Copies of this chain bind each other. A is one copy, B any other.
Amino acid sequence: MKKLKRSARLVEMTQYLLFRPHTLIPLTTFAERYSSAKSSISEDLTIIKEVFEDEGLGELHTIAGAAGGVKFTPKVPKDTALETILRVCERLQQPERILPGGYLYMTDMLGDPRLLNDIGKMFASIFSARDFDVVMTVETKGIPLAYATAAQLNVPVVVVRRDNKVTEGSAVSINYVSGSNKRIQTMSLPRRALAEQSRVLIIDDFMKAGGTIRGMIDLLQEFKATVAGVGVLMEAGEMDGEERLVDQYVSLAKVHGVDPKTKQIIIKPGNFFE
């Protein structure tokens, strides 16, 4: 690459770091890339670090020594996250979202790439201190959330299927009981999709009793994998005396009530903000 002036180098380094979250980049990579002295690169990184932190984009950690370098960790400040979630709650409380059966229509919001990116950053912030090998979800609606989170954590995604597709080879299947309607269901994961001993972050769009997530946790035992975190966009607040099947999880929003008669919907920020 040609030698760049500081101004051009700052633009280039900014994009380089933003597209490589949770990745240690040796200073020599930048020094060679721009034919610059390491001291100039360090000065550039100081400027970038300040802007990233002031803007609430994330942290830039410099690790000294021969194996050192710089690492960008996306981080959303808690008050920014709360603002986003309050806007999500407001949108979800529109009366026309109530569907027959008291369900809420939220497919449009899960189709909005910018909102997904914001939510992915939130989950990545919340779980940034733990090490994950993979983000896991179950088809279908959790998939975009899982990818948005995995992109920020720089790990792959594994999607659990509700049936066993011939195009994915030998798979491990388990039966689980969906907590809300007590039906027995099946989920499966291809053998080669997950290495043994993997540390897994489970992400899903909605949790009621937690039967589906409980199923994923059980499935992971078949792979000798560890669940190192569970995050859901939304949880049902009212459980009608029913027991939750998952203890440790983070929710970003909580449905406190949907009344098809009065068309009233009450959604508040989830347990992460409590």
Which residues of A does B touch, CB under 8 Å?
A: 2, 4, 6-8, 10-12, 14-15, 18-19, 47-48, 50-52, 54-55, 57, 99-101, 103-105, 107-108, 111-114, 116-117, 139-140, 143-144, 147-148, 150-151, 154-159, 161, 166-169, 190, 192-193
A18-B15, A140-B159, A156-B112 known; A7+B10 contact, CB < 8 A: yes
- A99 / chain B contacts, CB cutoff of 8 Å: 166-169
In the complex, residue of chain B having the shortest beta-carbon distance to the beta carbon of A107: B168
CA distance A86 to B47 in the complex (A): 37
- A139 / chain B contacts, CB cutoff of 8 Å: 139-140
CA distance A95 to B148 in the complex (A): 31
- Copy number in the complex reads 2
Q: A111-B159, A140-B140 are in contact. List 7 more A-B contacts (CB 8 A).
A: A7-B10, A18-B18, A19-B117, A99-B169, A113-B147, A114-B151, A140-B143
In the complex, residue of chain B having the shortest beta-carbon distance to the beta carbon of A153: B113
A108-B156, A140-B140, A143-B144 known; A103+B167 contact, CB < 8 A: yes
CA distance A150 to B117 in the complex (A): 12
A209 to chain B, nearest CB (A): 16
A80 to chain B, nearest CB (A): 14
A48 and B113 contact, CB distance less than 8 A: no
CA distance A140 to B140 in the complex (A): 7
Q: Determine which of B11, B101, B116, B168 lies in contact with A14 in the assembled complex, contact meaning CB atoms within 8 Å.
A: B11
CA distance A116 to B146 in the complex (A): 13
Q: Determine which of B7, B105, B169 lies in contact with A7 in the assembled complex, contact meaning CB atoms within 8 Å.
A: B7
- 6 closest cross-chain pairs (CB), A and B: A113-B151, A111-B156, A11-B51, A14-B14, A103-B167, A99-B169
B101 and A51 contact, CB distance less than 8 A: no
CA distance A140 to B82 in the complex (A): 31
- A166 / chain B contacts, CB cutoff of 8 Å: 99-101, 103
Q: Determine which of B51, B144, B157 lies in contact with A111 in the assembled complex, contact meaning CB atoms within 8 Å.
A: B157
- A151 / chain B contacts, CB cutoff of 8 Å: 113-114, 116-117
- A7 / chain B contacts, CB cutoff of 8 Å: 6-7, 10, 47
B14 and A15 contact, CB distance less than 8 A: yes
CA distance A113 to B140 in the complex (A): 17
In the complex, residue of chain B having the shortest beta-carbon distance to the beta carbon of A43: B7
In the complex, residue of chain B having the shortest beta-carbon distance to the beta carbon of A5: B47
CA distance A51 to B13 in the complex (A): 10
For this complex, 5 residue pairs linking A to B, each with C-beta atoms less than 8 Å apart, are A99-B167, A103-B169, A108-B156, A111-B158, A147-B148
